[in-house]
A and B are shown apart, each in its own frame.
Chain A
Amino acid sequence: GENVEQHPSTLSVQEGDSAVIKCTYSDSASNYFPWYKQELGKGPQLIIDIRSNVGEKKDQRIAVTLNKTAKHFSLHITETQPEDSAVYFCAASTGTSGYSTLTFGKGTMLLVSP
């Protein structure tokens, strides 16, 4: 089955700096890669996703890049703000079943200091 590794487990940055979270996956058939943000005591929320036919996708201060050859993808957050502090999860899926087959990384706790 799919295996997703996520690094780092914790990341501390100063407000205004950039933050990068990296994930690798094992199944070359995976073609869908979402990122979720989980604030304390809440459920994860989808913030951006990318499919295998695209190498990069951007939405305001966040961007995701995908390297299918190397089987890794990354989340980039620019101009970080204290409200970006949360746990971020990456995930991967082949999308070949009739239900969601997402495999999640173990999460990265991002702390943005004012």
Chain B
Amino acid sequence: SQTIHQWPATLVQPVGSPLSLECTVEGTSNPNLYWYRQAAGRGLQLLFYSVGIGQISSEVPQNLSASRPQDRQFILSSKKLLLSDSGFYLCAWSVPGANVLTFGAGSRLTVL
């Protein structure tokens, strides 16, 4: 069966520091991968998606970037965090061409 892992679960970082959140998927090949951000009262906002290694599409211009160095690995990064980057970040995957999303457990980022 397929599983999705996301870490770290919780992160507290100072303004201006770098960020790296990692996500891996097991039990499937060539998944579509996604990063969402969840802010209180604002639902789920798609940040990036990837349909293959090295292929990244951005939905929202921001202080963040994403990379996919391996087929089942997706990384969310920032060179310098802003206060507004605080939130709950969710990684997700889907079968190519399908709409059904499976989410990871999430990473809570607090920028101070």
A9–B40 Cα distance when bound, in Å, is 12
Comparing A67-75, A77-85, A94-102, the segment that makes contact with chain B is A94-102
Q: A44-B44, A106-B41, A106-B42 are in contact. Are A99 and B100 (CB under 8 A)?
A: no
Q: A34-B100, A43-B104, A44-B103 are in contact. Are A100 and B42 (CB under 8 A)?
A: no
A107 partner residues in chain B, CB cutoff 8 A: 41, 43
Q: What 0/1 pattern do residues 5 to 48 of A give for CB contact below 8 A with B?
A: 01001000000000000000000000010101000011111100
Comparing B13-21, B61-69, B73-81, B91-99, the segment that makes contact with chain A is B91-99
A99 touches which one: B41, B44, B49 (CB < 8 A)? B49
A107–B36 Cα distance when bound, in Å, is 15
B102 touches which one: A46, A98, A106 (CB < 8 A)? A46
B44 partner residues in chain A, CB cutoff 8 A: 44, 89, 104
A105 touches B43 (CB 8 A): yes
Q: Which applies to chain A's interface (DSSP): helix, strand, loop or mixed?
A: loop
Count CB-based A-B contacts (< 8 Å): 61
B43 touches A102 (CB 8 A): no
A93 partner residues in chain B, CB cutoff 8 A: 99
Please name the residue on chain A nearest to B106 by beta carbon: A43
B99 partner residues in chain A, CB cutoff 8 A: 32, 34, 93, 95, 100-102
B112 at the interface (CB under 8 A from A): no
**Min CB–CB distance A65 → chain B (angstroms):** 19
A95–B6 Cα distance when bound, in Å, is 26
Please name the residue on chain B nearest to A97 by beta carbon: B97
A43 partner residues in chain B, CB cutoff 8 A: 6, 90, 92, 103-106
A32–B42 Cα distance when bound, in Å, is 21
**Min CB–CB distance B39 → chain A (angstroms):** 10
Q: A residues bordering B, Cβ < 8 Å? A: 6, 9, 32, 34, 36, 41-46, 49, 89, 93, 95, 98-102, 104-107
